[in-house]
Every structure is written in C-alpha cells, then in structure tokens.
Amino acid sequence: MFVLAYDGTDFHGWQIQPGLRTVQGVLEETARRILRHPVEIRGAGRTDAGVHAAGQAANFQSDSEIPVTRMRHALGSRLAKDISLLRGREVDARLVASRHPLSKLYRYRVYACSDRPVNELLQRYTHHFWHPLDLERMRAGARHFVGTQDFAAMASKGSERQSTTRTVIRCEVYRRYDEVRFDIEGTGFLYNQVRNMVGTLIEVGRGHWEPDQVKEILESRDRSQAGPTAPAKGLCLQWVRYPPALLLPASEQEPAAD
C-alpha cells in the first residue's frame, strides 16, 4: 500500500476516464512501465476533479520481486510533479484500499478574508469567500451532521449508492489565521457530501439560515433544501484509517489460535 499526496488542480479526478488526465491513470501507467505488467490501483477515495489529497491511500497486487522500498523510489521518481508518494509498505493481500477504510478525514479550507488568496498559491487550495462567517453559528449547525443518519439531502445527483445512510464521526469548524477550516471525519461519504455539507454551513455562517435548520434539511432528504456545493479546490483528503491487522503482511501476522 502507498500513501500519496497530489495537487488535484490539473487532474480530472482520481478515477480513470478515457482521454483525460486522472490520478489513477497516471499511477497505473507509471507502475506498468516499472513492473512490466498491467496493474489496477485502488484508491481509498475517488476524489473529484480539482480535489486534492495529503494522505490518499492506494494499493495493488503484483508478483514482482522488487522490494516495496525500491518500488516506491522507482514510482515516485517517475511521477509528474503534482503527485508525491509519501510512504509504502506491504500489507495483507485481502486489503482493498477502497473497501476497508475504518474512517477518512476530509478538510475543507475557506479563505474568509477580503484580500485575495494569492500567497503560497492559496488560490489553488482554498475557496475565497468575502462575506464574514460566524464560527459559533457554524459549529452549532455542524453538530447536526454528527452521527449515523440519512444524508440524502447532502448527496448530489450521480451517486450510485443504494443507501444514503452514512456515519459522520466528527464535524469540526475552526479558524486558522485567515482561513476557516472544516474537518469532517466519517466512515464513508456520498457523492459531493462533504462539499454540500460545507456549502450548507456557509449559509448558516453568513446568517442566511439558523443553525437548527441543518436538522430540518437533513430530515427533508431533499437536496434542493440544502446549500450550494462548495467548489472542489477547497477540499483535501487528509488521511485514511484501516484495521491494523490488515496493514500487516501475512508473514508478520500472528498465527490463529487452535
């Protein structure tokens, strides 16, 4: 398994799409040239076009005898400048990055200032919002997102999931200098769920809606009642957590008790 970071600005998302530059497509093509056989790389999250990652997890199976440390160096040195392989390790063959996460953390960054976010290329990684935002109001609204419940009102069209029930472990709102940040951890998310949650909280923070209206929106299960979808560029997949046992290769696992 590899942990990677990427700037999603110039990618059409994670998933392979014919004729388009995607993170999965770049990784698979690079791995194929090194391993000399096709591979299917599974990512923990299918980030959309323009969405970034600081800790995306991905894995694939190979019968290559190249050690993981050398493979990471070979892959990393050949990748485009907007992708970086941070870590690599051999894991249990049963682990599939897209199927086995215990939780994921997404961070959304809003540049809440009248000045333009041009320092340190912040215009690529933050959503610039000119209006004042009330943190306490947004925190009060965010509490309604925590728990296991139906998030149909936060799912954009195009979601292929049979169930719209999801579990949000935490939804934190805080300020860091000129940024307002939203840290949202969950066991899994619907299509555009995080960006729709942020868009809804922004409406609360700017005073258009009361915090308790978030609960009413969720109960409506109606996407049209929620806030707009926040732009992709402010969203980043921070990390993915897996069952510790699956992060060990078979050779390092303790034998089952008789």
Residues marked as catalytic? 48
Contact 21, 106 (CB under 8 A): no
Q: What's 29's DSSP letter?
A: H
Please give the backbone phi and psi of residue 25, each rounded to the nearest 5 degrees, phi first.
-60, -45
Contact 206, 133 (CB under 8 A): yes
Answer left, alpha or beta for residue 234, where phi above 0 means left and psi between -120 and 50 means alpha.
alpha
> How many CB atoms within 10 Å of residue 243?
12
H-run or E-run covering 215: helix 213-220
Measured in whole angstroms, the distance separating CA 31 from the mean position of its chain's CA atoms is 23
Side chain identity at 251, as an amino acid letter? S
Kindly write down the DSSP assignment for every residue of 130-175, as one continuous string: -S---HHHHHHHHGGG-EEEE-GGG--TT---S--EEEEEEEEEEE
Residue whose token pair is 């004042």: 132
Tell me how many degrees the CA angle 232-165-204 measures, rounded to the nearest 5.
Answer: 50
Non-local CB neighbours of 175 within 8 Å, separated by 6+ positions: 112, 135, 181
